[in-house]
Amino acid sequence: MSYLESLFSLKDKVALVTGGGRGIGQVVAVGLARAGAEIVIISRTGADETVRLIEKGEGVPPGKAYSLIADVTDEKSVDKALAEILKRSGSLDIVFNNAGVCIHEDTFEHGVDQFRQVIDINLTGEYIVARAAGKIMKERKIKGSIINMASMSGSIVNVPQWQASYNASKAGIIHLTRSLAVEWAPYGIRVNSLSPGYIATPMSVDTPQELKDAWMPLIPMHRMGNPEELIGAVIYLAADSSGYTNGSDLIVDGAYVCQ
């Protein structure tokens, strides 16, 4: 292995991906596996397809992966899943805290219950997973990396759709990340966040075309990103290459927030 390869290698690392059954989570899970990590996916419904993609290899050596059923908003469910990871894999080195939800709705129509649902999954869920993983890393003296999924929506207000609850949750994640990075730095645990812009995932198929047409002129690169274009950013934050990167929010948005 060359020096450059070793900087970005995840060989012998165990990586947890939440919400890895489809979309960005699935693509990043496969990418982390190809960098050498053993992948564990937790989701509410399972992630058999992602596990199959990793184990199949598709042009690269087959990787190791399995999935567990867990609800990121339920602390006991998360603790049970992480205990199973330690039992089966013996460590927990990387967390890609990806599970989330978005609702596009006028605030006057968006009830408090819906607001709580978005905050509970996006912000509280990431807190629960990060806290549980951080405890393991601290107790076992693991120099771990936690990567929280934020969004450019944590830094700007999207138009023309209204999504106040989502924007608030993602802004909260960015500052939660900074707070945990400072608090846990003495233990060698790094916490960073990833803020994608508009990414073309299977979920975006359901996005009304008029919204996509409105977004394109606002993106300096005049296109949506591909999920594969997030893999390098996550591997960088997970690997030794980013050993002094802590509390950062890495924005991958085609220069949207620069305007």
Q: Which domains does the chain have, with CATH numbers?
A: 3-251 (3.40.50.720)
Tens-level pLDDT at each residue, the chain (259 residues): 788 888 999 999 999 999 999 999 999 999 999 999 999 999 998 899 999 999 987 656 789 999 999 999 999 999 999 999 999 999 999 999 999 999 989 999 999 999 999 999 999 999 999 999 999 999 999 999 999 999 999 999 999 999 999 999 999 999 999 999 999 999 999 999 999 999 998 767 678 899 999 999 999 999 999 999 999 999 999 999 999 999 999 999 999 999 8
The values of phi and psi at residue 232, to 5°, are -60, -40
Predicted model pTM: 0.96
Catalytic residue IDs = 151, 166, 170
3-state secondary structure of 163: coil
pLDDT of residue 58: 67
Q: Are strands 190-196 and 249-252 parallel, antiparallel or unpaired?
A: parallel
Q: What's the pLDDT at 3? A: 87
Angle between helices 164-184 and 112-119 (to 10 degrees): 30
pLDDT score for 4: 81
Rounded CA gap, 46 and 104, in Å? Answer: 26
* CA separation for the pair 54, 32 (Å, rounded): 10
